[in-house]
Amino acid sequence: MSGDGGPVVGRLSVVGVGPAGPEWITPEVAARLEAATDLVGYGPYLERIAGPHHRVHASDNREELARAMHALDMAAEGRDVVVVSGGDPGVFAMAAAIFEALEGAQAQRWAGVEVDVTPGVSAMQAAAARLGAPLGNDFCVISLSDNLKPWSLIQRRVRLAAEADFAMAFYNPISRARPWQLGEALGIVREAQGPDTLVMLATAVGRGEREDVQISTLGEVDPTMANMSTLVIVGAASTRVLERPSGRRHVYTPRYVESAE
């Protein structure tokens, strides 16, 4: 039965397939993909995971709400639909778009659709693991894209997070339409924390030869080295580099914070 007492007529799952290849897909997500009749999502994501038994419905990555409504319509027809996100579906991805549609004016037509969300490995988890443990203490996650919120709000959030000494993970750091925003965001943090704070650019983690991880500081980082495949992590004041005998460098933020008293 559906949540409003009506019959369940279809199922829609929102899943995350991780930041790269099949080794990043959890067993739970793999089971949902195998059971699905229809896959909905951004074309390059679907190319990674579609099987011969799937009906594939690809769309541009800027059409999230339309994609959500299309997926819900198919589920209302009795299909077993999976909406695919890269990384984790609940982090700047499709899960929120599905629930936005379910709260909209047309929600009644999907009353019989069972909806669930299956987590995946997020880009920030993948990047942090490559580096060591830079998010090992309190941290926050901010998208630098101003497509769905004003840049003034992003500036305020970055400034307050820097003043509170959070480590930060920046999604959507740069694009052709806004090549300057990462530099401005890092400048805001530099004003609050100084030039020695660590900054890490993790690009295409898990994608073989394309992967590139750089460790720098706010005083030395080159924001133009980032692209839309880059996850940027800015350390807290306590974040540090640990150099191992092998020469490998790890970045971590200690679990403790010394008292300022």
The domain covering 124-252 belongs, at the CATH homologous superfamily level, to: Tetrapyrrole methylase, C-terminal domain (3.30.950.10)
Q: What pLDDT score was predicted for residue 1?
A: 40
42 within 8 A of 58, measured Cβ to Cβ: yes
DSSP state of 196: T
Q: What share of the chain is helix, strand, coil (3-state, %, to 5)?
A: 35, 25, 40
Q: What pLDDT score was predicted for residue 8?
A: 67
For the entire predicted model, the pTM comes to 0.91
Q: Which residues pair with 58 in a beta bridge?
A: 41
Alpha-carbon distance values, 3 to 76, 78, 160 (Å): 14, 16, 40
Q: What pLDDT score was predicted for residue 237?
A: 95
Sorted by where each begins, the domain ranges of the chain are 10-121, 124-252
67 within 8 A of 58, measured Cβ to Cβ: no
Q: What pLDDT score was predicted for residue 105?
A: 84
Angle at CA of residue 172, ends 169 and 176, nearest 5°: 145
Q: What pLDDT score was predicted for residue 143?
A: 97
Q: What pLDDT score was predicted for residue 178?
A: 85
Please give the chain's pLDDT, 261 residues, in tens: 444 445 668 999 999 999 988 999 999 999 999 999 999 999 989 998 999 999 999 987 778 999 999 999 999 999 999 999 999 999 999 999 999 999 988 889 999 999 999 999 999 999 999 999 999 999 999 999 999 999 999 999 999 999 999 999 999 999 888 889 999 999 999 999 999 999 999 999 999 889 999 999 999 999 999 998 999 999 999 999 999 999 999 999 999 987 765
Domain 10-121 matching CATH 3.40.1010.10: the answer reads yes
Q: Which residues pair with 87 in a beta bridge?
A: 18
Query: Which residues does 219 contact at the CB level (< 8 Å), separation at least 6?
Result: 190, 195, 196
Q: What pLDDT score was predicted for residue 7?
A: 65
Q: What pLDDT score was predicted for residue 9?
A: 82
